[in-house]
Structure 1
Amino acid sequence: MVSSTRRALVEEIAGHDRLVEVGVGDRPGVARALAERGCRVVAVDVEPGDRTRAAAQETESEEVAGSLRVRRGDILALADGKSERDGDPLADPDDDADGRTAVGAVYACHLPAELQSPTVALADRLDAACAFTTLGFEEPVVPVRRRSVDGAVLYVARDGERGGPPPDPE
């Protein structure tokens, strides 16, 4: 079951074809919901959990409209591109002939303060939108626009057609 906060995150980013989830751990609900809506999701964590790996296998065997691929990767290395020298964990077999399809959004659930800056840096590097939820007791440490969706608070660090910083609040 996906919580109301996570459903709100799905609603916010489901319009993007290709997405990267940072710090998926063993919580594949958002990635799975996005794959079921036809999105191509690469879920990254330093140690992806068994439930997440199982969800990825289920999306293949159930012929879900999108895809869910699970990769090991460190957001600190991904943010500055260092991980690509050992192969790109964000690569998708369905990418275009150049080996890359533009990532539309980078997102995270329960993103701790210490990972917010590198997550936004990854979105900047990929020229992608960026949205996340926090652990609940922490305020964002990066510039964001707050969005309330169905009573849940989402933080948007980059939005627009190809990313870009959120507009200044008026």
Structure 2
Amino acid sequence: MRFSGWHDALVGVSGEMRAWLIDRHSLTQRITRRCADFAVQEIHQRDARPSLDEADMAGVGVQQRALLRDVFLCCGTTPVVFAHSVLPYSSLTDRWANLGRLGNRPLGAALFADPMVKRECLQFRKIDRRHPLYHQAVAVVAEPPAYLWARRSLFTLSTRRILVTEVFLPDIVTL
């Protein structure tokens, strides 16, 4: 895999943010336990080429396109997580055939509901304005911080893969 700045070990973060980042269970469920008014706000879903390191991890060829989905996970009207998913077209079959039509429904709920889906190891990264996902994530933040913490993981079902990246916004620690 190409070097991408993502790390298997989480270093340099503690407290409540660390607890959010290392939790391997459903992020959707964790937020809904703390927020009665949970919502998914779809930003856009498009046919595009993932970045090189995303393509490597998701098993998409360099010239291949995939379905890219960007959403905010919100507590009420407050976005707390920006989620970016790479759904290779070859993965959108059988039990995953409907994942390309979720709209404002959470992808995580569908993935964690299936006991056959496996979550690979988490990777972590501090992203700043040099990272393309940073700009999308802070579009709703009144005073963007210098950096945000992000994690990503690969979900597999047999030979199919979906890559999910979650960027934690500052208000996540207030839940």
Normalising by structure 2, we get a TM-score of 0.28
Task: Judging by fraction of residues, say which structure has more strand.
Answer: 2
Normalising by structure 1, we get a TM-score of 0.28
Higher relative contact order (CA 8 A, sep 6+): 2
